[in-house]
Amino acid sequence: MKIKYLNGERLYYAFISGAKEVIENRKELNRINVFPVPDGDTGTNLSRTLNMVMENVKADKSVKATLNSMGDAALRGAIGNSGIIFAQFINGLKENAVADKRLSVNNFVKTINKAVDQTYQAISEPVEGTMLTVMKDWSNSLEEIKSKTDDYEELLSESLKTAKESLNRTQNTLEVLKQAHVVDSGALGFVYFLTGILEFIKTGKIEEINNYEVVMDNEETSFNEDDEIVFRYCTEAYLENVEKEIPVIREELAKLGDSLIIAGGSEKMRIHIHTNQPAEFFAELNNYSTIIDQKVDDMLIQYDIKYNRIADIAIVTDSIADLPQEYIDDNQIHVIPINLIIDDTKYLDKITITPDNFYDLVDEAEEYPTSAQPSIKMVEDKLSFLADHYESIIIITVSSNLSGTYETVKTASNNIKNGTEITIIDSKLDSGAQGLLVMEAAEKIKDGLKHEEIVEYIQNIKDQLYIYVSVDNFEYMVRGGRVSPLKGKLAGFFNLKPIVSLDKEGNGIAFAKAFSKKAITNKIKEIVKDHQEKEGIKRYSIVHGDGKERAEEYRKIFTNLIGQEPEYVIDISPVIGLNAGRNSVAISLMTNKGGE
């Protein structure tokens, strides 16, 4: 029987079928992921994005209502490059959907074409030979096929052939794919999605979604100017397959804070709490459930912005910038957490996962963890809040050549429509060096400089900052896909110790190497001494990956060499720790311009 229209419910279940196909094949997508970086997380990121839509959308007979719900959920939950591209495509469908309850083949094709166009427009530098190309080729084929049929099964069957042909061509379009003998993983994910949709159109079969009840311990609290913030973080978790009863969970979690709310049952559960220990909260949940989603809002920062704001300019950075929490609080620096995915659980860098428990989780993980930039929706929510309370915003991100965070922030900032001036600076740095740059911006705000003066100053001093990382071994780099297993094995055989740094474009480079920790330390001393003699050193910091003894050794060495104490000595971000690993240590420094 021909299917000549889609209503909201059919569209919803077709989406579920497509999403399930992607999720079932996520390991294959991770395996072939080599572009834009070979970090093996495309399947994980796509699955997380699609899962957020499945968990947050309800079917409605109206096509428009269903797509509105899908678009909002996709942007709210998108992570990773592929996830964000996919989310933008879904949002494009939402924005271009007709108001009719039923969607004809002709209107379906028009909506797809406009959504693909908008997806291209959302990317600053679209790369052909990726998911974008397959989307475009598939969309073009729909335009040709619609004149021959009004049947959805025929339309999707024929267009899927084109999508698969386009997928196969990606291997020859991008050189990195050609060398690896694989197709683009994001493009394959999109083809899996189309395959699942077609399967539903053919069979009409999909698993039912079960409803769940809400169990509340007490009402959520709010605060006003006279309130004291006892528990800092408003924390939420969305869970599956919970292995404990609600009364037991309530008793165990109550000691961590207040405003505890437990919704749902053992299959699907959402928990809300105000706590000072979000990492401990999620560590507890991880013992008896699968954590699908996490959300943490810093209520102390929100309170200070409303009642104790110290400046009219907001400074924002991401969690890869290594700075002491005390300094962040004192200077009201707003931090966007990067995502860490460990065994299908998403953590928020430095918030729901900390250096104290990170390395043990890595060692125990079945699959090596990956990182992903924050979702557009999350960044948009944070910037919208700041835009309501500040005259302008300056955002300093991790190097765009190391993370997609810069692009995510730029996209999110474009959605802030209240007229607040927002400037985004690609630091070309990471870790302690990025932290020192943020310190410079915070101090210029205290000095009373204007927005444009601070931006000009930060842009001018970026090339005065350096970072030199002593990595204990290549194990973490190999496991994270940054170094090939063969090179890692050879390095281990020769006991090779690298110094990792960043070039002026913000790319990671192997700066030097030696055959012992002592020799590496001596090389870094020579490098720092050279900076000191040629330019002078204004400030520096020391950061480490669970290597306090090495960090203390570096503090003593460089205090003596430079003639001043470091600004701070702290643990590195868990995201940085994915590659630097245990017992790594780094010195970041800022030179005086022109030797001043």
Q: pLDDT tens digits, residue range 114-153?
A: 999 988 876 666 789 999 999 999 999 999 999 888 888 9
Mean pLDDT of 199-205: 84
pLDDT reading at 282 higher than 80: yes
Letter for the amino acid at 4?
K
Mean pLDDT of 515-529: 86
Mean pLDDT of 542-565: 95
- Please answer whether residues 130 and 35 qualify as being in contact, where contact means their C-beta atoms are separated by less than 8 angstroms: yes
DSSP for 430-467? -HHHHHHHHHHHHHHHHTT--HHHHHHHHHHHGGGEEE
pLDDT reading at 331 higher than 80: yes
Q: How confident is the model at residue 480 (pLDDT cuts 50, 70, 90)?
A: low
Mean pLDDT of 264-272: 74
Cβ-Cβ contacts under 8 Å for 169 (sequence gap 6 or more) = 129, 133
Could you give the CA distance from residue 191 to residue 304 in angstroms, rounded to a whole number?
48
pLDDT reading at 210 higher than 60: no
315 phi, psi to nearest 5 deg: -105, 125
- Please answer whether residues 419 and 389 qualify as being in contact, where contact means their C-beta atoms are separated by less than 8 angstroms: no
- pLDDT number for residue 511: 64
Percentage of residues in the chain having pLDDT higher than 70? 87
State the helix-helix crossing angle for 355-364 and 278-285, rounded to 10 degrees.
20
pLDDT reading at 537 higher than 90: yes
Of 18-32, 74-88, 455-469, 523-537, least confident by mean pLDDT is 74-88
- pLDDT number for residue 307: 75
pLDDT reading at 305 higher than 70: yes
Place of tokens 């910091």: 541
- pLDDT number for residue 10: 86
pLDDT reading at 596 higher than 60: no
- Please answer whether residues 351 and 233 qualify as being in contact, where contact means their C-beta atoms are separated by less than 8 angstroms: yes
Of 99-103, 278-282, 446-450, least confident by mean pLDDT is 99-103
Could you give the CA distance from residue 418 to residue 421 in angstroms, rounded to a whole number?
9
Instruction: Tell which wins on pLDDT, 79 or 416.
Output: 416
What mean pLDDT is reported for the chain?
A: 84
pLDDT reading at 531 higher than 70: yes
pLDDT reading at 330 higher than 90: yes
- pLDDT number for residue 474: 58
- pLDDT number for residue 424: 97
Mean pLDDT of 42-51: 83
Instruction: Tell which wins on pLDDT, 579 or 539.
Output: 539
pLDDT reading at 228 higher than 90: no
- pLDDT number for residue 215: 38
Q: Which of 260, 288, 273 is nearest to 352 (CA)?
A: 273
Helix (H) or strand (E) holding 396: strand 392-397
This prediction has a pTM of 0.68
Could you give the CA distance from residue 359 to residue 368 in angstroms, rounded to a whole number?
11
**HSE-up of residue 290 (Cα within 13 Å, Cβ side):** 9
For 406-434, write each residue's pLDDT tens digit.
Answer: 999 999 998 887 789 999 999 999 999 99
- pLDDT number for residue 83: 80
- Please answer whether residues 421 and 577 qualify as being in contact, where contact means their C-beta atoms are separated by less than 8 angstroms: no
- pLDDT number for residue 306: 74
Mean pLDDT of 527-556: 94
Q: How confident is the model at residue 512 (pLDDT cuts 50, 70, 90)?
A: low
Instruction: Tell which wins on pLDDT, 509 or 111.
Output: 111
- pLDDT number for residue 124: 60
Q: Is the dihedral of CA 345, 575, 82, 64 positive or negative?
A: positive
Q: How confident is the model at residue 211 (pLDDT cuts 50, 70, 90)?
A: very low
Q: How confident is the model at residue 475 (pLDDT cuts 50, 70, 90)?
A: low
Q: Which of 426, 515, 430, 427 is nearest to 469 (CA)?
A: 430
- pLDDT number for residue 488: 45
* Helices and strands of the chain, counted as H and E runs: 24, 20
Could you give the CA distance from residue 89 to residue 205 in angstroms, rounded to a whole number?
25
Q: Which of 505, 563, 499 is nearest to 527 (CA)?
A: 499
- pLDDT number for residue 365: 80
For 376-402, write each residue's pLDDT tens digit.
Answer: 888 988 898 898 889 999 999 999 999
Could you give the CA distance from residue 249 to residue 262 in angstroms, rounded to a whole number?
9
Collapsed DSSP state (helix, strand, coil) of residue 256: coil
Q: Which of 371, 381, 325, 365 is nearest to 348 (CA)?
A: 371
Of 90-99, 454-463, 467-476, least confident by mean pLDDT is 467-476
Mean pLDDT of 464-491: 64
Cβ-Cβ contacts under 8 Å for 34 (sequence gap 6 or more) = 176, 177, 180, 182, 185
Could you give the CA distance from residue 378 to residue 318 in angstroms, rounded to a whole number?
12
- pLDDT number for residue 69: 86
pLDDT reading at 443 higher than 90: yes
Mean pLDDT of 292-318: 87
